[in-house]
Structure 1
């Protein structure tokens, strides 16, 4: 008698009666199984990288290649779903609304944005998958940085110019963008230290030390920008 991958037979009455007390494994519906595979794929790619072999993923899941390909016909299709789940789903339109809020000062916007951005994205899976993608085919890192360039960086440059009391209309210059990426990369490095190098941030004796580090970097960036771009 043959069974599908997710089914079990009824207990054999001739076997040990204690075995009949073991609950049968619930058959997963399509949505639950796809969700399970996606969640495990995120963990897998975060641990082993984008180049990790799918045969190792199927071993960890306890499923066949056939079942995996039923839900994700190619590895690229699976990676795209990982991107949507880990990167696109965490993107907040509230960040853009915050940076466009006329009632807040540029410094208030920078601090509020980067504090929430850090809490939202600097997770184990986000940081490691982004780094692994950059070391591999760039399929994820290129898409994410394009979102930054189109939706966030121009707003941050605009607020930097407001802080420096400069005209906000011209297109951001390469020098401005590189200077801003020094701030952005420095904040992202907090996640790298934790999830790539396994190092805790310094100043463990300072309450809310991570928030203070972000505020210090924002203040340093804005004050330096006022000097450099005056």
Structure 2
């Protein structure tokens, strides 16, 4: 196996290992599952933190789509169209076994991954969603988002993420066999409820 292929194999295995056992999982158990030595592992990833940072880049950074920001900045769409389109694609992209479980495990341990991801949300996503919420409510976007606006928005964002938690943390099925679009319906309902409530609270 070549150098690039071996590094890719170790990284892919580490992603599944941390998703299953948590960020605090011992690397000796990872090397045992891989059938490689510690020396070989450390040749590619000198420290556990270096490996975790590569896991973050692969699972979180690489899935971030610049198209989401372009979508939310598109003046030809209504705020409701933007939020629906964004959250439908966002959920399809991030609500996977490895993404959901690694994010939760990181929050329960050293926060090294969860803090970075939430900073990404705060800098590139949440201001755009607040802007569109204000537009829907008929309010000017002339000030920084308030704490109340942000917390209200996180209710929507957390509600979408909870779909993944139910599946990958609690092992609860949310997909009705007779309705293959269950997830999409849940997201549309939550977006509509969020916007209507925001109009009542903030207009």
User: When the two structures are superposed, what TM-score results if normalisation uses the length of structure 2?
Assistant: 0.99
Q: How does 1:181-220 map to 2 (within 5 A)?
A: 181-201=154-174, 203-220=176-193
The one of 66, 87, 92 equivalent to 1:119 is 92
The one of 72, 94, 103 equivalent to 1:99 is 72
Q: How does 1:1-230 map to 2 (within 5 A)?
A: 28-201=1-174, 203-230=176-203
2-structure distance, mates of 1:215, 1:52: 37
Gap runs ≥5 in structure 2: none
Q: List, as ranges, runs of 4+ consecutive aligned residues in structure 1 with deviation greater than 2 Å.
A: 202-207
Call closer, same or farther: CA 1:105–1:30 in 2, change over 3 Å: same
Count the aligned residue pairs.
203
Gap runs ≥5 in structure 1: 1-27
Which structure has more relative contact order (CA 8 Å, sep 6+)? It is 2
2-structure distance, mates of 1:141, 1:38: 19
Offset, 1:207: 3.9
Q: Larger Cα Rg: Structure 1 or Structure 2?
A: 1
1-structure distance, mates of 2:50, 2:179: 44
Q: Which has the higher helix share?
A: 2
User: When the two structures are superposed, what TM-score results if normalisation uses the length of structure 1?
Assistant: 0.87
